[in-house]
Amino acid sequence: MILLGKVGIGIVGTALAGAGIICSEGMISVNVETRQPEKHHVFVVAPAMLVPIAMHFIPKEHLAEHAHEIQPWLPTIRASLDALSESDDITFVDVKEPGQNVRVAKSGGSIVVDVNENDETVHVSTPIRAMSSAIEELAATSPAPTR
Amino acid sequence: MRREKPAVAVSCLLLVATIAVAIGIARGATTAAKPAAERYLHVKVDGGTKGESVNVNVPLSMAVKILPTINHGDLHNGRVTISGADINDVDLHAILDAVRTAPDNEFVTVKSSEQDVRVAKSNGNLIIHVRGSGKEGGKGGQKVDVTVPMKVVDALFSTAKQNELDVAAAIRALGEAGETVLVTVQDAEQNVKIWIDSKSGAE
C-alpha cells in the first residue's frame, strides 16, 4: 500500500513537473468568434513551448527559405523582442472606427491582438518568450552568412 | 547546554540583522540605479469622414534600441542618408549653427492668399506655424504647429557627414527634452497630434 502511494506520488509529481515545464513559456491563445452569416466559435489554448519544439520536426528545407529571408532582419527582430520584453504593459496601436476596433498591445509578457467587428471577434495572444524561441529556431536553420 | 542557548539566540539575531542590512543595502542600490522615467511618443489622429481614431504609443527607449539595428534603404545604424543632389550645395551645419547662436526671433514669415508660414526660434525651440486660408473647396483652413526643441535639432544634425540625419540621437534627445507637444495639425476633416510624455496611454 505504501509502495503504491509512493508510485502514485511519483507519477503525479512527474506529471505536474512536466506540465510546469511545458507551460513555463506561457500559453498561446486564439479566440475567433464569427456571428454572421453563420455562428462559429474557435477557441484554442496551447502551451507556447510547443512552437519551438514543433519547429524541430519541420523539414529544414521548408524552413530554409523563410530563415534566409529573415536573416537580414534578425538583429532588428531580436532587439524588438528584447525591448518588448523589457517594456511595461502598453497599447501600441488602437484603431477605432464605427463598427470596428483593432488593438495591438503588450499585456503580461504577451503580445495581444484584438480585432472587434460587428460580425467577427478575433483575439490572439502570444508570449514574447515563445516568439523569441521560435525566431531562434528559425534562425538556426539558416546557413551562416558569408562575409 | 543552558549556556549554549543564549549564544544560539544571539547568533540567530545577528544573522537576521545581517540579512536585514543586506536587503536594505540592496534596496538602496536598486533605488540609486533606478533609470530615468520612461518617455513615450504618442500619435493621435481623430476625425475623418467616418469618425475614425488612431492612437499609436511607442516607448522612446524601445525606438532607441531598435533603430540602430535597421539597415535598409537610406536608414543605417540609426542614421538617415538624405539622397539627392539638392543638399550638396547647402551647408546645413552652418545654417543650424547660425540658428542656434541667433537670439529668439522670427526667421521666416510668408504671407500669401492661400497660407501663412512662420518659422521662429523661441525659448530653445524651433517653431513652425502654417495657417491655411481654407478658401479652396470652401472648407475650414488647415492649422499646422510644429515645435522642435533645439537640442533635438542639434542631435539630428550631430553627424559629421553633411547628408546624414542622426535619428537615433534625436530620439534620445527627445527623451531628455521632457514632456512636449511636437506636432498638431487641425483641419476640417481631422486632427493630428504628436507628443512626448511619461504616460504609456494616449489619454
- Tell me the pLDDT tens digit for each residue of A23-57: 777 899 999 999 877 889 999 998 988 888 888 88
| CB proximity under 8 Å: A 55-94 to B | 72, 75-76, 78-80, 82-84, 86-94
Which stretches within B33-178 are classed as H helix?
Answer: 60-66, 92-101, 150-156, 167-177
Residue A14 lies in a domain: no
* Residue B138: predicted pLDDT: 46
Q: Tell me if residue B193 falls in helix, strand or coil.
A: strand
Domain ranges for chain B: 1-34, 37-197
Rounded to a whole number, what is the largest CA-CA distance in chain A? 67
The interface predicted TM-score (ipTM) is: 0.77
C-alpha separations of B83 from A121, A131, B67, B80 in Å? 44, 36, 19, 9
Output the CA angle B203-A79-B152, nearest 5 degrees. 55
User: How far does the CA of residue A99 sit from the closest CA of chain B (Å)?
Assistant: 10
Choosing among A70, A92, A117, which should be mutated to test the B contact, i.e. which has the most B CBs within 10 A? Answer: A92
What is the tens place of the pLDDT at every residue in A50-90?
888 888 888 888 888 888 888 889 999 999 999 999 999 99
Return the minimum-mean-pLDDT range out of A114-128, B20-34, B164-178. Answer: B20-34
Structurally, how many domains does chain A consist of? 1
Residue A104 lies in a domain: yes
Task: List chain B residues with CB under 8 Å of A98.
Answer: 50-51
- B53–A79 CB contact, under 8 Å: no
- B200–A79 CB contact, under 8 Å: no
Q: Tell me if residue A72 falls in helix, strand or coil.
A: helix
Residue B152's contacts (CB-CB under 8 Å, 6 or more residues apart) are: B170, B173, B174, B177
- A76–B66 CB contact, under 8 Å: yes
Q: Tell me if residue A105 falls in helix, strand or coil.
A: strand
Size (chain A), residues: 147
- B62–A95 CB contact, under 8 Å: no
Share of chain A above pLDDT 90, in %: 41
Confidence of residue B31 (pLDDT cuts 50, 70, 90): very low
Contact B106, B120 (CB under 8 A): yes
Residue A86 lies in a domain: yes
Choosing among B46, B64, B65, which should be mutated to test the A contact, i.e. which has the most A CBs within 10 A? Answer: B65
Counting beta carbons within 10 angstroms of the beta carbon of residue B177, is it exposed (0 to 12), middle (13 to 18) or buried (19 or more)? buried
Bridge partners (DSSP) of residue A90 are A106
How many CA atoms, within 13 angstroms, populate the side-chain half-sphere of residue B127? Answer: 15
Q: Is B199 on the interface with A (CB under 8 A)?
A: no
Q: Is B43 on the interface with A (CB under 8 A)?
A: no
Which stretches within chain B are classed as H helix?
Answer: 4-32, 60-66, 92-101, 150-156, 167-177
Residue A87's contacts (CB-CB under 8 Å, 6 or more residues apart) are: A106, B38, B59, B61, B62
